[in-house]
Amino acid sequence: MLDSSPTSDAAALRPTPMMEQFLEIKEANPGSLLFYRMGDFYEMFFDDAEIASRALGITLTKRGKHLGEDIPMCGVPVHAANDYLQKLIALGHRVAVCEQQEDPAEAKKRGGKSVVKRGVVRLVTPGTLTEDTLLEAGRNNYLASVARLRGGAADGSDRFAIAWIDISTGDFRLAETDQLRLSADIARVDPRELLVPDSFFADDELGPYVRELPVSVTPLPGAFFDGATAGARLAAYYGVGTLDGLGSFSRVELSAAAAALAYVEKTQISERPPLSRPVRESDGAVMLIDAATRANLELVRTLSGERRGSLLAAIDRTVTGAGSRLLAERLASPSTDPEWIERRLDALDHLLRQGRRRAAIREALAASPDLARALSRLSLNRGGPRDLAGIRYSLDAAARLAEVLGGDGQALPDELAEACAVLAGAPHDLAAELAAALADELPLLKRDGGFVRPGYDADLDTTRALRDESRQVIAGLQATYSAETDIKALKIKHNNVLGYFIEVPQQYGERLLGADYAGRYIHRQTMAGAMRFITTELADLEAKIASAGDRALAIEQATFDALLAHVVAVSDALRAVAAALAVIDVAAALATLAETDNYARPVVDRSLAFSIEGGRHPVVEQALKREGGAAFVANGCDLGARKEGDAGLIWLITGPNMAGKSTFLRQNGLIAILAQIGSYVPAQSAHLGIVDRLFSRVGAADDLARGRSTFMVEMVETAAILNQATDRSLVILDEIGRGTATFDGLSIAWAAIEHLHEVNRARGLFATHYHELTALSQRLARLENATVRVKEWNGDVVFLHEIVAGAADRSYGIQVAKLAGLPASVVARARDVLAHLEETDRKSPAATLIDDLPLFAALVAKPAPVVAEDPLGPVLDGLLPDDMTPREALEALYRLKALRPRRA
């Protein structure tokens, strides 16, 4: 308690011993809110209290004084601390948890003013969470670190590496990268916390970048990233003498890995998470998708940050948290290895044809808790009896799955066969031991006791009987003594002075003092009409009853520790089981998705093919089904090379807004991603050559925080595409150049198409309203025009959502504006203005570009001659031959004949 009534001015300026302790611990943990344990509360003082009270919405109080000033204070109950931690971490705070490290009674022995020993047992940061209440079941909680090696590349440029760890599952990976790809790799990992050298913030290029990252960035001293000692630190963590057994890593990769491990050790204090050995991702092993493309395609979250409406939400049919995390991981990092993709497709195909077996598999998986996270909590001494039960139920599920998968002796595809072998070899003896030891109803914390099953430990059963059934035990002993002495009036009683004692009428007391019972009954007290005795047996029983509660809890704690030791001893096998369960869950989930949503198996190889028949947008299609609307209109796409040795095609797509261009663009990117994660795809058929990099610039948004307009953001993203795309890439661009003046925008779009065609040679989809660009198909051999079909009816436009060869003749903007609800007067005036402009003899923007820029000289065309007004023009413009019946065509012909000018 704080001293709130000092006896003098000098005393008022002296901090209390407790406050001295708080300030000392706070100074050792700068940058963190200090949860200071006082009994059943975590208290916060000074600035920490003011920050926490605002963040958590709890009352700020004042208690005691420090240097003559009131001390702000607030607190949270220990039992509800996780809820408050979750709020603080979500707001970007870090918390140092300070616990009492001795019994208050021990402190009193040192003197009345002695303070209970306390110490920080853990630093809670966004990237080091392990509690279920603080984690999302279907999302990895990665802590990532980035290291740089100056001049490390062959061309003298800097090399970078990124290492990422999920201490809640033990996952540990690393990869080498470069500055151009760094942002894409960070976006792919999607860490909750990113560690960088503090020197990054002073770097002209990296400083602005790391400050603006949408993650919690933690700067660390350069010593954390010291490449000279990184290998030794990594070997020391895993207790090996050399790194040869861990793998071959570059110096910059070791620096990133060592920094991440050092931070884990710093935050976990005395505990060491059981991390798997680091896995190095080889260069080019996954499809590169930059942050802008991930946002545009809404892979795991929508543009508003929600999971609902994303591709992940649309395809996730997993029944376990581990399966959902693995699916999200694959979606973030599609493979570029056709053989690996084929393995996954084979597993999916097998389960797709095994409907009943798949249902049994999913039922068994649904009964499996999160094995990896339970194991991590137990290894960090943060687990409880329910985590032990989670291990047991997961092993039970593994046994059932091994039986279901391999029970009939049918050959399994490689991925399922390997997973089945892991499940069959699981430590099932541990499951049997846990089943025998753990009760059916379990407390959350081991300190609550009551989690050991009756009959597992005889000593515990006896102790519990003393604790819970002391009256029956005393009554039984009373009956024994009464029969032994033949004194029916003998009673065993209790008071606060003597404790338990035997009381008999006085006439029988003399008998107990006689030689027949010498030393057996010890006289304690003579009362009027009664005598009181004790026995050695009764005294021992009293002591056992008094300590039965504490002893029963101690036995249970020892049982927990023994079970925990067994779990930790087989942790490597348990991690393998957890991984196998996740693999099976993803395969069964994707098979279920393919069956329910009519997906097809794609052909994925190393060619430059990109042929999709009847492709559909997986998210939009499901939304239409939920809303009971019209069926999704499927469209094909063929960007493959027309002859061997050529690069792929670029489709230039024109057509009005709202006709489905953006949906078509996105669906092809999503189909490529789904194919390369080893999933069936929403199409009638698909043949896709590996896409090494996927770029998508769809939609418009500004970046006010960085002072960038919509057009500037568009140009930055387009520049990244043109600087990085290869002939194996897929590039999706929508309305490039529309954010500036017409001639400027048209010129930029024109030049971008030429660059994609001649330099990048990438497969691409380029949507535009600049109809002048369609002339490029005459010169660029691999550029083809496509358009979205529409139909005009009584002055309105009907969207058919079909992609066909050819170019749109206009944009139908006024019709779309009418559909959007513009006032009728505005729409009418717009029609008048448009008619006037169309009648005006203007030189086309495309011709202006061709005349002014030698780059386009090859497309120079003579200006169209000025002709007299044609009375047939308006009628011809309104005819849609493809949509006319024979009778309508005949009637139109008669009308045209009647309008033809007659010769004088």
CATH number at residue 495: 1.10.1420.10
What's the domain range around 503?
458-557
What's 190's domain CATH number? 3.30.420.110
Could you report the per-residue pLDDT of 579-597, keeping only the tens digit for each? 999 999 999 999 999 999 9
- Pick from 364, 345, 426, 425: nearest CA to 391: 426
Last-in-domain residue among 83, 98, 124: 124
Shared domain check, 357 and 275: no
In a domain, 702, yes or no: yes
Is 11 part of any known ligand binding site?
no
Shared domain check, 795 and 721: yes
Does residue 577 contact residue 371 with C-beta atoms inside 8 Å?
A: yes
Q: What average pLDDT does this structure show over 771-781?
A: 90
Could you report the per-residue pLDDT of 312-353, keeping only the tens digit for each? 999 999 999 999 999 999 999 999 999 999 999 999 999 999
* pLDDT > 70? residue 701: no
Does residue 791 contact residue 798 with C-beta atoms inside 8 Å?
A: yes
Residues in the chain: 904
In a domain, 291, yes or no: no
Shared domain check, 779 and 703: yes
Burial of 473 (0-12, 13-18, 19+ CB in 10 A): middle
Separation between Cα atoms, residue 267 and residue 713, nearest integer Å: 38
In a domain, 580, yes or no: yes
Could you report the per-residue pLDDT of 374-389, keeping only the tens digit for each? 999 999 999 999 999 9
* pLDDT > 70? residue 709: no
* pLDDT > 50? residue 644: yes
Last-in-domain residue among 506, 528, 557: 557
* pLDDT > 50? residue 90: yes
Separation between Cα atoms, residue 597 and residue 632, nearest integer Å: 12
Residues above pLDDT 70, as percent of the chain: 87
Shared domain check, 673 and 770: yes
Is 661 part of any known ligand binding site?
yes
Is 145 part of any known ligand binding site?
no
Separation between Cα atoms, residue 430 and residue 395, nearest integer Å: 8
pLDDT-based confidence at 656, cuts 50/70/90?
A: confident
pLDDT-based confidence at 311, cuts 50/70/90?
A: very high
Shared domain check, 537 and 397: no
Separation between Cα atoms, residue 798 and residue 628, nearest integer Å: 20
What the block records as the tokens of 738 is: 């529309």
Shared domain check, 38 and 182: no
- Pick from 216, 123, 127, 130: nearest CA to 169: 130
Residue 532: strand, helix, or coil: strand
Burial of 250 (0-12, 13-18, 19+ CB in 10 A): middle
Q: What is the pLDDT of residue 818?
A: 67
Question: What values do phi and psi take at 128, rounded to 5?
Answer: -125, 35
* pLDDT > 50? residue 787: yes
- Measured in Å, how far apart are the chain's first and last C-alpha atoms? 114
Separation between Cα atoms, residue 541 and residue 471, nearest integer Å: 12
Which is more confident, 110 or 237? 237
- Pick from 264, 252, 250, 148: nearest CA to 206: 148
What the block records as the tokens of 539 is: 């005294």
Separation between Cα atoms, residue 736 and residue 770, nearest integer Å: 10
* pLDDT > 70? residue 87: yes
What's 738's domain CATH number? 3.40.50.300
Does residue 195 contact residue 260 with C-beta atoms inside 8 Å?
A: yes
Does residue 318 contact residue 585 with C-beta atoms inside 8 Å?
A: yes
Q: What is the pLDDT of residue 816?
A: 65
* pLDDT > 60? residue 7: no
- CA 340-341-343 angle, to 5 degrees, is 65
pLDDT-based confidence at 132, cuts 50/70/90?
A: confident
**What contacts 24+ positions apart, CB below 8 Å, involve 596-599?**
596/317, 597/621, 597/622, 597/682, 598/682, 599/679, 599/680, 599/681, 599/682, 599/683
What the block records as the tokens of 807 is: 């170019």
- Residue 643 one-letter amino acid: K
In a domain, 267, yes or no: yes
Residue that has been written with the tokens 């003998």 in this structure: 490
Taking residue 201's Cβ as centre, other Cβ atoms within 10 Å add up to: 14
Q: What average pLDDT does this structure show over 697-720?
A: 69
Shared domain check, 225 and 143: yes
Does residue 74 contact residue 14 with C-beta atoms inside 8 Å?
A: no
Separation between Cα atoms, residue 58 and residue 406, nearest integer Å: 56
Residue 283: strand, helix, or coil: coil
- CA 468-473-477 angle, to 5 degrees, is 165
Shared domain check, 114 and 17: yes
Shared domain check, 768 and 622: yes
Is 470 part of any known ligand binding site?
no
Could you report the per-residue pLDDT of 92-103, keeping only the tens digit for each? 899 999 999 888
**What contacts 24+ positions apart, CB below 8 Å, involve 825-832?**
none
What the block records as the tokens of 469 is: 């059934």
* pLDDT > 50? residue 8: no
Separation between Cα atoms, residue 5 and residue 124, nearest integer Å: 35
What the block records as the tokens of 382 is: 């943060």
Does residue 812 contact residue 820 with C-beta atoms inside 8 Å?
A: no
- CA 384-390-394 angle, to 5 degrees, is 160
Question: Which stretch of DSSP H or E encloses residue 527?
Answer: strand 522-527
Q: Name 599's Cβ contacts closer than 8 Å, sequence gap at least 6.
A: 593, 679, 680, 681, 682, 683
Lowest mean per-residue pLDDT among 31-45, 194-208, 309-323, 881-895 = 881-895
Lowest mean per-residue pLDDT among 242-251, 527-536, 615-624, 735-744 = 735-744
Is 662 part of any known ligand binding site?
yes
Taking residue 180's Cβ as centre, other Cβ atoms within 10 Å add up to: 14
Shared domain check, 606 and 589: no
Q: What is the pLDDT of residue 133?
A: 84
Q: What is the pLDDT of residue 592?
A: 97
Domain count, the chain: 6
Residue 155 is given by DSSP the state T
* pLDDT > 50? residue 904: no
Report the half-sphere exposure of 640 (CA within 13 A, side-chain side).
21
In a domain, 878, yes or no: yes
Shared domain check, 574 and 552: no
In a domain, 819, yes or no: no
Is 421 part of any known ligand binding site?
no
Does residue 323 contact residue 586 with C-beta atoms inside 8 Å?
A: yes
Question: Which stretch of DSSP H or E encloses residue 58?
Answer: none
DSSP β-bridge partners for residue 122 = 97
Shared domain check, 578 and 512: no
* pLDDT > 80? residue 522: yes
pLDDT-based confidence at 435, cuts 50/70/90?
A: very high
pLDDT-based confidence at 481, cuts 50/70/90?
A: very high
Q: What is the pLDDT of residue 814?
A: 64
Q: What is the pLDDT of residue 713?
A: 79
In a domain, 634, yes or no: yes
What average pLDDT is seen over the chain?
A: 86
pLDDT-based confidence at 550, cuts 50/70/90?
A: confident
- Pick from 536, 528, 537: nearest CA to 509: 528
Is 73 part of any known ligand binding site?
no
- Pick from 425, 408, 394, 386: nearest CA to 582: 394
Separation between Cα atoms, residue 818 and residue 828, nearest integer Å: 9
Q: What average pLDDT does this structure show over 451-472?
A: 90
Could you report the per-residue pLDDT of 134-152, keeping only the tens digit for each? 889 999 999 999 999 988 6
Residues above pLDDT 90, as percent of the chain: 57
The alpha carbon of 623 is separated from its chain's Cα centroid by a whole number of angstroms, namely 23
* pLDDT > 50? residue 705: no
Could you report the per-residue pLDDT of 181-227, keeping only the tens digit for each? 898 999 999 999 999 999 998 888 888 888 888 889 999 999 999 98
Is 749 part of any known ligand binding site?
no
Last-in-domain residue among 102, 124, 146: 124
Does residue 724 contact residue 762 with C-beta atoms inside 8 Å?
A: no
The DSSP annotation for 451-515 comes to -BPTTS-HHHHHHHHHHH-HHHHHHHHHHHHHHHHT-TT-EEEEETTTEEEEEEEHHHHHHHHSG
- Going from the C-alpha of 823 to that of each of 293, 535, 659, 832, 904, the distances in angstroms are 36, 103, 22, 15, 46
Q: Name 335's Cβ contacts closer than 8 Å, sequence gap at least 6.
A: 285, 286, 287, 341, 676, 677, 678
In a domain, 434, yes or no: no
* pLDDT > 50? residue 840: yes
| Pairing between β-strand 635-638 and β-strand 610-615 as defined by DSSP bridges | antiparallel
